[in-house]
């Protein structure tokens, strides 16, 4: 920590324990069974995700980086942003492309990463402070799906939501999230959104079911989270990782499919869950987008898409939208 770096804790100390309990209670007693993907990202899970981004089959990270590397100067020039606000900051590789361009242009004063992980914010924030000596970093530990409050960030603010994390939300959740975004942004602020695009289902399925089994380990890690945090007795080997293309909803779904009939105890929420053989627990949706429909859903929320870029292979899109 130094005088240019602060972290504000906006989550109550029992936030994780109580939301994980509520999510487990709700999702595991529902039919079909589901869990929100945010619980993948404990420390081992975050490491596995970093490994996923390097897999030959997992193109989204590289595709988005390709666009950012090419367009960051244009993004800086059109937004002339005084602050970069980043949701779910994650790896700072992509962030640096934006910080470099915004710094070179001379408008940037502030970087505000919002993330649920204090340790991720601390690690990234310290490195960025060191490497950008004119930058103030005001990080906030928060769940940006529910709290996006911005404070005194100098405008115009460039709010970046990268990695196609937007695809983890279903249509109703996206509507709520866009409304939250819309309320957080002022007239001269800009939204920078990364979105993975609809493509050959075989390419998509391979990206979520890689040959080295890293995504399988990532998927099953959520069971270890439940075992550790809620005292559950999931046997990860008793489930099979599956990536399925849902053609109607145009999304990849990750499922953990029970290999046999079994019962799992989750003492912390007083739950005993039965799985039939072949029954699935859906752990993630990863929606893939089309230009027209994404533009339309943003328009319905009060955003106008000003720029739309893709990588050369048109696998991934990066867009700028304004209120």
Residues that bind ligand AVJ (CB under 6 A): 52, 60, 163-165, 167-168, 208, 215, 284, 286
Cα(115)–Cα(61) distance, integer angstroms: 19
Tokens matching residue 232:
């559950």
Nearer to ligand AVJ, 112 or 287 (CB): 287
Q: Which is nearer to ligand AVJ, 221 or 258 (CB)?
A: 221
Closer to ligand AVJ by Cβ: residue 56 or 106: 56
Dist CA 175 CA 141 (whole Å)? 23
The least CB distance from residue 266 to ligand AVJ, in Å, is: 23
| SS3 of residue 99 by DSSP | helix
- Both structure tokens of 81: 């942003």
CB of 196 to ligand AVJ, least distance (A): 7
Residue of this chain nearest to ligand AVJ (CB atom): 286
* Angstrom distance (rounded) from CA 239 to CA 275: 10
In angstroms, rounded to a whole number, what is the distance separating the alpha carbons of residues 63 and 69? Answer: 10
Minimum Å gap between C-beta 267 and ligand AVJ is 28
The nearer residue to ligand AVJ, 126 or 250, going by C-beta atoms, is 250
> CB-wise, 52 or 256, nearer to ligand AVJ?
52
State the minimum distance, in angstroms, from the CB of residue 271 to ligand AVJ. 25
Per-residue DSSP letter, 302? T
SS3 content of the chain, % helix, strand, coil (to 5): 40, 25, 30
Q: Are 157 and 126 in contact (CB under 8 A)?
A: no
- Closest C-alpha among 288, 264, 207, 248 to residue 24: 264
Token pair belonging to 48: 């596995």
Least distance from ligand AVJ to the Cβ atom of residue 60, Å: 6
Smallest gap from Cβ 74 to ligand AVJ, in A, equals 24
| Nearest to ligand AVJ of 89, 164 (CB atom) | 164
């Amino acid at each position: 920590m130094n005088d240019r770096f602060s972290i504000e804790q906006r989550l109550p100390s029992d936030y994780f324990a109580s939301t994980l309990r509520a999510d487990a209670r709700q999702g595991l007693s529902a039919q079909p069974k589901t869990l929100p993907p945010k619980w993948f990202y404990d420390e081992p899970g975050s490491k596995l995700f970093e490994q996923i981004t390097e897999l030959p089959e997992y193109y989204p990270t590289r595709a988005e980086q390709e666009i950012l590397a090419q367009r960051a100067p244009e993004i800086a020039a059109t937004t002339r942003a005084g602050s970069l606000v980043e949701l779910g900051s994650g790896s700072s590789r992509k962030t640096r492309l934006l910080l470099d361009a915004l710094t070179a242009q001379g408008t940037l004063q502030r970087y505000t990463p919002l993330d649920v992980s204090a340790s991720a914010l601390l690690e990234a924030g310290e490195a960025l402070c060191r490497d950008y000596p004119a930058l103030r970093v005001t990080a906030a530990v928060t769940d940006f799906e529910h709290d996006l409050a911005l404070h005194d960030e100098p405008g115009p603010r460039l709010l970046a939501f990268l990695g196609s994390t937007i695809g983890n939300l279903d249509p109703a959740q996206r509507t709520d999230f866009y409304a939250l975004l819309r309320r957080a942004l002022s007239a001269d602020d800009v939204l920078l959104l990364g979105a993975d695009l609809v493509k050959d289902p075989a390419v998509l399925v391979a990206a979520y079911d890689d040959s080295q089994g890293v995504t399988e380990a990532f998927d099953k890690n959520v069971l270890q989270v439940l075992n550790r945090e809620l005292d559950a007795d999931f046997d990860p080997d008793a489930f099979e990782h599956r990536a399925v293309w849902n053609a109607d909803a145009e999304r990849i779904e990750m499922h953990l499919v029970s290999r046999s009939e079994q019962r799992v105890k989750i003492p912390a929420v007083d739950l005993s869950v039965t799985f039939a053989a072949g029954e699935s627990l859906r752990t993630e949706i990863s929606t893939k987008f089309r230009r027209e429909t994404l533009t339309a859903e943003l328009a319905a929320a009060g955003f106008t898409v000003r720029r739309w870029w893709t990588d050369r292979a048109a696998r991934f899109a990066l867009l700028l939208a304004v209120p």
